[in-house]
């Protein structure tokens, strides 16, 4: 995750819902065009140690 996006995530500016096809919901101005999109499947590959962890998103 790019550093400015990581900071937005840490400040709860957006969320990623693993129970809704990893849909991105923005709570502030969406400067990166992510609102309503889904996280790329490569980020959630269960075989990859660096994948997104569902429990962390929840």
Neighbouring residues of 54: CB distance < 8 A, sequence distance ≥ 6: 18
Maximum CA extent, the chain: 34
Specify the pLDDT at position 34: 93
Give me the average pLDDT of each 10-residue run along the chain (58 residues): 85 94 94 93 90 90
Give the phi and the psi of residue 42 in degrees, each rounded to 5: -60, -25
Specify the pLDDT at position 3: 87
- What's CA 18's distance to the chain center, in Å? 9
Rounded CA gap, 20 and 7, in Å? 23
Write down the pTM of the prediction.
0.82
Neighbouring residues of 19: CB distance < 8 A, sequence distance ≥ 6: 58
Specify the pLDDT at position 55: 92
């Amino acid at each position: 995750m790019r550093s400015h996006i990581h900071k937005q995530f840490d400040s709860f500016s957006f969320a990623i819902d693993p129970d809704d096809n990893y849909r991105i919901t923005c709570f502030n101005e969406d400067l990166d065009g992510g609102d309503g999109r889904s996280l790329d499947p490569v980020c959630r590959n269960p075989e990859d140690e660096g994948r997104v962890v569902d429990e962390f998103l929840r």
